[in-house]
Amino acid sequence: MLALHDVTLAYDDHVVVERLDLVAADREVLCVLGPSGCGKSTLLRAVAGLEPLRSGTIHLDGRDLSGLRPDQRQVGLMFQEHALFPHRSVADNVGFGPRVHGLDAEVVRERVSSALELVGLAGTEHRRVDQLSGGERQRVALARAVAPRPRLLMLDEPLGSLDRALQTRLLQELPEGFAELGTTVVYVTHDQDEALALADRVAVMRAGRIEQQGPPDRLWRAPRTRFVAGFLGLDQQLPVEVMGDTVHTPLGQLPRAEVRRAEAGAAAGDVADSGSPAATYAVLLPESIRLLAPAETARNNELVVTGTVRRRRFRGDHQQVSVELDDHTSSGETVTLNALALRDAGGPGTAVRLAIDPRGVHLLQPDERE
């Protein structure tokens, strides 16, 4: 539905987006995830016709957008800075797009009402925008982008200034709202929780390029590089050495056949087939670590390590437990796991045993940009 091919964007000699390829399917929610300054917002502006391409093409429904004005592109964009009419009413702001498209007054009212209901602002039609809080203005901007029901809806950090409770509610309700609209959504964010909750597919962007893309669960289970793993919040990364049938880690030795490997391109451990050791990194998924009861034994191929609880953090439906491992098993590494109940771990200073499932250890490709 949307296809960007070999797109490069630059300001004078500064390249912001470099030879980027990206597609979005019909009615798909595609989240572009990355740090500030990586080119996410510039990319949206280029699709909307607000930034010129240095090279490459952008097609929407098979139509080349080159030379088309922003109002000819059937694209809706919610700006990060909102760009509302401050002294007009909420209804005037949200209804601006449908009115510009020549819809009659009754249809405009219906569009305004349904868009405001989607963002949790039903009944605010007559309030002035300059009387709203920052979070309310942000939701008005989101409603204004939705109201014209564009063929392609692009949202730039739409939940950035909302409180956590409202973010959580909208993350639950927006996917259903997007499905009812029947539109394709490109959603830009630096928040991995938003991307993983909302997206059908996530594209992780770094310094103007797409580092990796795929369904959220696949990216979580199989990040390709240390950057992708770290940006998804998987910061338990271990130096490893792959030799023959064994993966050597600071935690101990694991059977290579059980350890997951990066799927695209040559996995870092593949070069070990020549007989020479390959030094690389692996990420340790938190769900692969579990606390062992005092008399409990490990399951097949699990690696057992011992350590001391250093910190517990309550996370609502689970607790996050940080354990410093004993020197004789791990050279003093600290690992974090999720425990489902408070009784599952003692407080700081408690000695514990942990079982690590090798299937939750994932080898990463060497990072060419490090």
Query: Domain segments of the chain: what residues?
Result: 2-228, 235-283, 286-360
Cβ–Cβ under 8 Å, residues 39 and 10: no
Looking at residue 299, its pLDDT comes to 86
What secondary structure letter does DSSP report for 273?
G
Give the CA-trace dihedral at 69, 71, 75, 80, to 10 degrees.
90
pLDDT digit of tens for each residue in the chain (370 aa)? 999 999 999 998 899 999 999 999 999 999 999 999 999 999 999 999 999 999 999 999 999 998 899 888 889 888 877 788 988 999 999 999 899 888 999 999 999 999 999 888 999 999 999 888 888 888 898 899 999 888 899 999 888 878 888 888 888 888 888 888 888 999 999 999 999 999 999 999 999 999 999 999 999 988 999 999 999 989 889 888 888 888 888 888 888 888 887 654 333 333 333 333 455 899 998 888 888 888 888 888 889 988 898 888 877 777 788 888 887 555 567 888 877 654 566 788 888 889 999 988 999 987 766 5
- Please give the model's pTM, rounded to 2 decimal places: 0.85
Cβ–Cβ under 8 Å, residues 268 and 226: no
Cα–Cα dist 362/99, whole Å: 52
Cα dist from 321 to 126, 313, 332, whole Å: 49, 7, 16
CATH number of 286-360: 2.40.50.140
Cα–Cα dist 155/119, whole Å: 13
Topology annotation, domain 2-228: Rossmann fold (3.40.50)
